[in-house]
């Protein structure tokens, strides 16, 4: 999920929340625990179309409605769910065999065509799908894109050359092959992402065109089916789909209650109107352990928070300057005091959530040493004024101000935090090469591979390389790693690439995230995974 994390929570409309709270689905005493209804708090999803869902609210709901080809165990090893097998001999041509017996919620059988059609739709440029970039590796992707000749001007972009990916081929009803433009050993894991869910024939208005109201009541192949439609800004209800051939859910249904503010979710949890809060807001962290007792829980996730140096800003062009700034930041103090221990200091460029993570791969540069930092900063002639630009809607002001205060004290510089209203405003300023100073960024992995923390973020032209870092040696190592025949070999090469980052410091790693969640007494076995989603097949009602 691209850098927009954490989720935007708009302010207002408490009336709607009260309305939602009034319709609490607590489940009556007559039904057994297996048929009980539980409720989970989310924000309003942007979309419920798999290929256009790159934020965690929509992904949370879709995970109940759809069953992925592969999922991940506790060690992030992919295992097949809807797929019988995913095989490749050369990491370039992948054969996907589907399990027999899966049906969509309208009774339709799930077949190879459902995947191929959905993926072609995802990749086709004019559809404007947020998850389109996941298809970049598939052969023929470029032919499905077209460039607008005059940017935002009046001329319309020409139609792309092709409408379907040449890399997708149907073998039989339950088998298809995916040909990549370059070998990638991690492709099996990539296919676990939301974008790769299948779509039923009933979803299409005509060939390649989705029905406009499909996302109001998505028909999926998952353990739950939608009950009614998506009630915007209020709730989304799902109920158990009895014909689901896979692992059965342990509850009868889930109500996803939609909130504008995280603090309101927490208040509802306290008031008994909500069962699960997946992210307890910072404001409540000091009191939450006492409020919730053993229902206050933490688990690791894949969030990585950092600040980047746009390469067009010459004052940060010296690596010594970037390193000195990094060494002048006391990460531990910020995670303890601002985040109340809900995040941990980052000392590497990848999250421990993926194989290949090494503690302290950033080395001295991420170790707090104010004296050395000051000496190095002065010697390298660092700028007298430092600026950190952040998006003001994500709750970043507190830690940016704290970081600035540390830099002021430790480096003797002037430091200001500048809050842009939205992340997109920040990106616009970076594109216009304005003096934004350091920029705040965050990353949740898309698929559990070390490569996901390298290629998209630092590769030349990477999808989220907003600062413009480019190093051919790095690009080469990531590419070689992706093409390596085994995961171990791949990791070795990726680790070498990470070492280059530690040397060049294009960004300063700051913090690693953690899920800090809580639940009511009505539910048990609540787990939140590394993608910040509730494990929907594990949650149970207590009575």
Partner 1 sequence: MSNVESVAQAEVPGAAGVPVSPDGGPEKPRSLTGDAWDDLRRNWIFWAAAVLVVLVVVMAAFPSLFTSADPDACALSRQHQGPSGSAIFGYNFQGCDVYARTIYGARNSVLIGLFATIIAGVIGLIVGMAAGYFGGWIDAVLARGIDIVLGIPTLLAAIVLARRLSADPQDTGFWAVVFTLGVLTWTTGARIMRSSVISAKNQDYVAAARMLGAGPGRLMFRHILPNAAAPFVVVLTILLGVNISTEATLTFLGVGLKGNAISWGIDISTAAPYVRETATPLVWPSIFLAMTVLAFIMLGDAIRDAFDPRLR
Number of residues binding to partner 1, judged by CB under 8 A: 23
**Could you tell me whether strands 253-259 and 37-43 are parallel, antiparallel, or unpaired per DSSP bridges?**
parallel
Distance CA 351, CA 358 (A): 9
> In the bound complex, what is the minimum distance in angstroms from residue 511's beta carbon to partner 1?
14
- Cα–Cα nearest to 6, from 366, 393, 379: 393
- Out of 19, 217, 319, 416, point to the residue binding partner 1 (CB under 8 A): 416
- Out of 249, 356, 417, 455, point to the residue binding partner 1 (CB under 8 A): 417
> In the bound complex, what is the minimum distance in angstroms from residue 381's beta carbon to partner 1?
24
Element (H, E) at 263: helix 262-271
Segment interacting with partner 1 (CB under 8 A) among 42-50, 160-168, 334-342, 347-355: 334-342
> In the bound complex, what is the minimum distance in angstroms from residue 262's beta carbon to partner 1?
11
By beta-carbon proximity to partner 1, the closer residue of 337 and 476 is 337
Q: Is 337 in the site for partner 1 (CB under 8 A)?
A: yes
Segment interacting with partner 1 (CB under 8 A) among 193-201, 346-354, 398-406, 501-509: 398-406
Q: Is 402 in the site for partner 1 (CB under 8 A)?
A: yes
DSSP conformation letters of 156-223: PPPPPS-SS-TTEEEEETTEEEEEBSS--TTHHHHTTSGGG----GGGEEETTEE-TTGGGS---SSS
10 Å Cβ neighbour count for 86?
18
> In the bound complex, what is the minimum distance in angstroms from residue 516's beta carbon to partner 1?
16
Q: Is 261 in the site for partner 1 (CB under 8 A)?
A: no
> In the bound complex, what is the minimum distance in angstroms from residue 220's beta carbon to partner 1?
38
**Which positions from 346 to 385 touch partner 1 by CB under 8 A, shown as an x/- string?**
----------------------------------------
Q: Is 270 in the site for partner 1 (CB under 8 A)?
A: no
- Out of 33, 338, 355, 380, point to the residue binding partner 1 (CB under 8 A): 338
Element (H, E) at 306: strand 296-308
For residue 411, the 8-state DSSP code is H
Q: Is 277 in the site for partner 1 (CB under 8 A)?
A: no
Residue 509 near residue 523, CB atoms below 8 Å: no
Q: Is 345 in the site for partner 1 (CB under 8 A)?
A: no
By beta-carbon proximity to partner 1, the closer residue of 409 and 480 is 409
Give the up-direction half-sphere exposure of residue 327: CA atoms within 13 A in the CB hemisphere: 20
Q: Is 402 helix (H, G, I), strand (E, B) or coil?
A: helix
Contact positions with partner 1 (CB under 8 A) in 303-332? 330
Dihedral class, residue 303 (left if φ above 0, else alpha if ψ from -120 to 50, else beta): beta
By beta-carbon proximity to partner 1, the closer residue of 351 and 389 is 389
Omega of the bond prior to 6 within 30 degrees of 0, cis? Answer: yes
Rg (CA), the chain: 24
- Out of 392, 463, 499, 527, point to the residue binding partner 1 (CB under 8 A): 392
Segment interacting with partner 1 (CB under 8 A) among 395-403, 480-488, 490-498, 522-530: 395-403
Q: Is 267 in the site for partner 1 (CB under 8 A)?
A: no
Distance CA 174, CA 114 (A): 10
> In the bound complex, what is the minimum distance in angstroms from residue 111's beta carbon to partner 1?
52
- Joined together, the tokens standing for residue 469 give 């870092």
On the 0-12 / 13-18 / 19+ scale of CB atoms within 10 A, 13 is middle
Q: Is 13 in the site for partner 1 (CB under 8 A)?
A: no
- Out of 155, 287, 476, 543, point to the residue binding partner 1 (CB under 8 A): 287
Q: Is 19 in the site for partner 1 (CB under 8 A)?
A: no
- Cα–Cα nearest to 465, from 443, 449, 448, 486: 443
Contact residues for partner 1 (CB under 8 A)?
263, 283, 286-287, 330, 333-334, 337-338, 392, 398, 401-402, 405-406, 408-409, 416-421
């Amino acid at each position: 999920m691209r850098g927009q994390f954490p989720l935007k929570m708009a302010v207002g409309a408490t009336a709607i929340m009260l309305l939602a709270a009034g319709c609490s689905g607590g489940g009556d005493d007559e039904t057994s625990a297996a048929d009980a209804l539980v409720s989970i708090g989310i924000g309003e999803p942007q979309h419920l179309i798999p290929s256009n869902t790159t934020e965690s609210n929509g992904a949370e709901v879709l995970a109940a409605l759809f069953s992925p080809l592969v999922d991940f165990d506790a060690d992030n090893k992919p295992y097949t769910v809807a797929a019988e097998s995913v095989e490749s001999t050369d990491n370039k041509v992948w054969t996907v065999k589907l399990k027999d017996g899966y049906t969509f919620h309208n009774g339709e059988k799930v077949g190879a065509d459902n995947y191929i059609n959905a993926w072609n739709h995802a990749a086709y440029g004019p559809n404007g799908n947020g998850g389109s970039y996941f298809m970049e590796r598939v052969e023929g992707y470029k032919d499905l894109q077209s460039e607008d000749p005059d940017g935002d001007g009046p001329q319309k972009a020409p139609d792309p050359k092709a409408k379907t990916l040449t890399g997708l081929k149907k073998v039989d009803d339950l088998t298809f092959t995916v040909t990549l433009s370059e070998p990638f050993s991690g492709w099996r894991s990539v296919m676990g992402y939301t974008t790769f869910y299948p779509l039923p024939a009933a979803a299409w208005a005509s060939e390649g065109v989705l029905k406009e109201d499909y996302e109001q009541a998505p028909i999926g192949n998952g353990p739950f089916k939608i009950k009614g439609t998506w009630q915007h800004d209020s709730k989304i209800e799902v109920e158990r789909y009895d014909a689901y051939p896979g692992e059965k859910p342990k509850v009868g249904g889930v109500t996803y209650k939609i909130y504008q503010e995280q603090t309101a979710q927490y208040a509802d949890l306290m008031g008994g109107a909500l069962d699960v809060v997946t992210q307890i807001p910072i404001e409540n962290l000091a009191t939450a352990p006492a409020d919730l007792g053993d229902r206050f829980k933490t688990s690791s996730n894949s969030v990585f928070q950092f600040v980047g140096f746009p390469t067009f800003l010459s004052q940060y062009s010296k690596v010594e300057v970037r390193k000195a700034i990094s060494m002048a930041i006391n990460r531990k103090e910020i995670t303890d005091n601002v985040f109340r221990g809900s995040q941990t200091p980052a000392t590497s460029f990848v999250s421990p959530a993926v194989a290949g993570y090494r503690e302290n791969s950033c080395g001295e540069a991420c170790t707090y040493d104010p004296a050395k930092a000051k000496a190095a900063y002065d010697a390298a002639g660092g700028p007298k004024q430092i600026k950190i630009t952040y998006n003001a809607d994500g709750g970043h002001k507190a830690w940016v101000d704290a970081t600035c205060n540390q830099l002021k004290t430790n480096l003797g510089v002037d430091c200001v935090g500048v809050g842009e209203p939205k992340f997109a405003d920040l990106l616009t300023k970076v594109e216009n090469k304005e003096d934004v100073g350091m920029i705040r960024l965050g990353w949740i992995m898309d698929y559990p591979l070390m490569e996901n923390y390298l290629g998209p973020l630092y590769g030349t032209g990477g999808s989220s390389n907003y600062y413009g870092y480019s190093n051919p040696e790095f690009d080469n190592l990531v590419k070689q790693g992706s093409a390596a025949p085994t995961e171990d070999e791949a990791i070795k090469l990726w680790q070498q690439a990470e070492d280059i980052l530690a040397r060049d410091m294009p960004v300063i790693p700051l913090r690693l995230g953690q899920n800090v969640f809580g639940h009511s007494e009505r539910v048990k076995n609540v787990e939140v995974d590394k993608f910040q989603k509730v494990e929907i097949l594990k949650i149970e009602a207590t009575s």
